[in-house]
């Protein structure tokens, strides 16, 4: 019984290592620093790639598409549409101008905040996946083998 236990511990450590390397890749992919010139430049290019209509405003649809096609966040979770929707809503809620609040888009100035919220949601999902020790497959939030490649194991 002890070799099985050791194999289980080693497999669990490997899963955590894989999740951590995916999380580190995600962290590097998102230009979050407000004043870093490299991040500002990367954010400008990323915004332009997301802005399919070239109107300098992003719709929720453009954000979801950009998260999937440009940032490839679908590689990290099957729940990217939920993450993008919540991050989009939070970024919009932080807007202070009444005329802009009536709009259903995000500007470049709000884009960094949107990326920060996306990162925060992934960070929370990552932390929950580390503390989730369930080995039951098929359960929501379960850490079973069918979910081993996914960074997130929970719904937001």
Please check whether residue 77 is in contact with residue 129, taking contact to mean a CB–CB distance below 8 angstroms: no
Q: Tell me the whole-structure pTM to 2 decimals.
A: 0.70
Q: How are the residues of the chain apportioned to helix, strand and coil, as percentages rounded to the nearest 5?
A: 65, 0, 35
For residue 34, what are its two tokens? 């407000």
Mean pLDDT of 136-148: 45
**Residue 88, pLDDT above cutoff 80:** yes
Please check whether residue 98 is in contact with residue 141, taking contact to mean a CB–CB distance below 8 angstroms: no
Rounded mean pLDDT of the chain?
77
For residue 155, what are its two tokens? 């719904």
Model confidence pLDDT, tens digit, residues 108-125: 989 999 999 999 998 888
Model confidence pLDDT, tens digit, residues 8-38: 666 666 666 666 677 777 888 888 888 888 8
CA angle 18, 125, 94 (to 5 degrees): 135
pLDDT of residue 148: 43
pLDDT of residue 26: 80
C-alpha distance from residue 135 to each of 9, 77, 89, 148 (Å): 12, 19, 34, 11
pLDDT of residue 61: 96
| Confidence band of 48 (pLDDT split at 50, 70, 90) | very high
Mean pLDDT of 89-96: 81
């Amino acid at each position: 019984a002890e070799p099985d236990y050791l194999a289980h511990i080693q497999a669990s450590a490997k899963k955590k290592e894989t999740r951590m390397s995916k999380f580190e890749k995600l962290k590097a992919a998102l230009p979050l620093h407000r004043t870093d010139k490299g991040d500002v430049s990367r954010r400008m290019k990323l915004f332009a790639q997301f802005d399919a209509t070239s109107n300098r405003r992003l719709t929720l649809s453009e954000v979801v598409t950009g998260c999937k096609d440009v940032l490839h966040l679908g590689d990290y979770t099957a729940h990217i549409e939920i993450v993008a929707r919540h991050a989009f809503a939070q970024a919009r809620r932080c807007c202070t101008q009444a005329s802009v609040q009536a709009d259903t888009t995000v500007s470049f100035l709000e884009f960094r905040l949107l990326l920060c919220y996306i990162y925060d949601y992934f960070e929370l999902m990552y932390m929950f996946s580390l503390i989730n020790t369930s080995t039951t497959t098929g359960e929501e939030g379960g850490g079973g083998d069918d979910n081993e490649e996914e960074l997130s194991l929970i719904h937001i």
